[in-house]
Amino acid sequence: MARRLAELTYEEVAEILAAGPAVAIVPVGSVEPHGPHLPLETDTTISVVCAMRAADRLETRTEGGPVRAVVAPSVPYGVTDYASGFAGAIGVPAAALTSMLNAIARSLLATGFAHVCFVNNHLEPAHDAAVRAAIEGLPKGAASVACPLTRRWGRTLSDEFKRGDCHAGRYETSLVLAAGSHVRASFGELPTLGLSLSDAIRAGKSTFAEIGMERAYTGAPRDATRDEGEQLYDKLVTMVVTEITEALAVLPS
């Protein structure tokens, strides 16, 4: 099982760092509504599962050799402007998020980690930009962001994800089912909504309400399955591992 940084003692962390280059993976998410069937922590849950599985894969990989990795405590708050007006939407300003993540990365690097990867599955554009801004100015190869918003990784995911009608739809509901988190039974009764977030954002819509997402979801949650979630995690973990190993390759030797 992947090691959680917060569960280790300082001596155990020191032992990991003394053994050679090690990576800290930081899950990033949000506290916002995900339909009537998924918990507010959905994005954070997905990022945590990705981080844990990526750490396991890094530790056991054969091609290129294993990479020591730990999963740092998650950052559960993000930019949630699109969810404004819904109960339970708790957001922070983009500048505050960038500043905090930058400080976390610098602290982990100062502690002795060779690389810090922020794993982000809250896909609001302003949030993604804030996360990416947090690694600007850090040494080359010292930090990375793994997020499926980029074309490189988004095109490997499901059709619903590619269309953009995936907020609390089949895509995210499948991932939460596979994570073992509690999904309300109502997901099997929710009608399919073909509202594309990506199209709406390009059209200038700025909230779920403006888009027509009256219950804070779009897509087809009733079509979600645990098996599809497992398949999606495999692709997301590949994303995280690849971002980390490519960054490590450019670190000064």
pLDDT digits 0-9 by tens, 179-219? 998 999 999 999 999 999 999 999 999 999 999 999 999 99
Q: What is the pLDDT of residues 124-155, one digit of tens each?
A: 999 999 999 999 999 999 999 999 999 999 99
Mean pLDDT to the nearest integer, 17-46:
97
| pLDDT at residue 253 tops 80 | no
Residue 36 has pLDDT above 80, yes or no: yes
Q: Is residue 253 part of a domain?
A: no
Whichever domain contains 181, its CATH number is 3.40.50.10310
Please enumerate in sequence order all residues whose Cβ is within 8 A of that of 249, keeping only pairs 6 or more positions apart, or say none. Answer: 141
Q: Which of 220, 224, 123, 116 is nearest to 179 (CA)?
A: 224
In a domain? residue 148: yes
Confidence of residue 3 (pLDDT cuts 50, 70, 90): very high
The confidence score (pLDDT) of residue 62 equals 79
Is there a contact between 73 and 6 (Cβ–Cβ < 8 Å)?
yes
- Looking at every residue in the chain, the average pLDDT score rounds to 97
Kindly state whether residue 252 falls inside one of the protein's structural domains.
Answer: no
Distance from chain centroid for Cα 183: 19
Q: Is residue 251 part of a domain?
A: no
Percent of the chain residues topping a pLDDT of 90: 96
Higher-confidence residue of 36 and 64: namely 36
Q: Is residue 201 part of a domain?
A: yes
Q: Is the pLDDT of residue 64 over 90?
A: no
Structural domain includes residue 118:
yes
Q: How many domains does the chain have?
A: 1
Query: What ranges make up the beta strands (E) of the chain?
Result: 3-4, 22-28, 68-71, 115-120, 143-146
Provide the whole-model pTM: 0.97
Would residue 122 count as lying in a domain? yes
Domain extent, residue 195, equals: 3-246
pLDDT at 63: 85
Confidence bin at 9 (pLDDT 50/70/90): very high
Residue 197 lies in a domain: yes
pLDDT at 1 over 80: no
